[in-house]
Amino acid sequence: MDLWYIGVLFVLLLFYKLFRPTIKGFVGEKSIALKLSALPRSKYLIINNLVLNSKGKTQVSALRG
């Protein structure tokens, strides 16, 4: 009986568990970028990866304004 797929499933679940924050961050950034790309460029300025120093670092991925 071939049970190789159980090993593959285990590896995929382990990979997901280890990299879940990175995966969620990537998906979140891409979904925001897609929504912001629909805004008219004549009215909005999009700033990516803005880092503000205020009692520690704060990163803003995108701004509308």
pLDDT tens sequence across 7-58: 999 999 999 899 999 889 889 888 988 898 898 989 888 877 777 777 766 6
What pLDDT shows up at residue 56? 67
What pLDDT shows up at residue 8? 92
The 8-class DSSP code of residue 40 comes to -
- Indicate whether 64 pLDDT > 90: no
What pLDDT shows up at residue 61? 58
CA angle 34, 37, 39 (to 5 degrees): 125
The number of domains in the chain is 1
Residue range(s) defining the domain that contains residue 12: 4-63
What pLDDT shows up at residue 26? 87
What pLDDT shows up at residue 59? 63
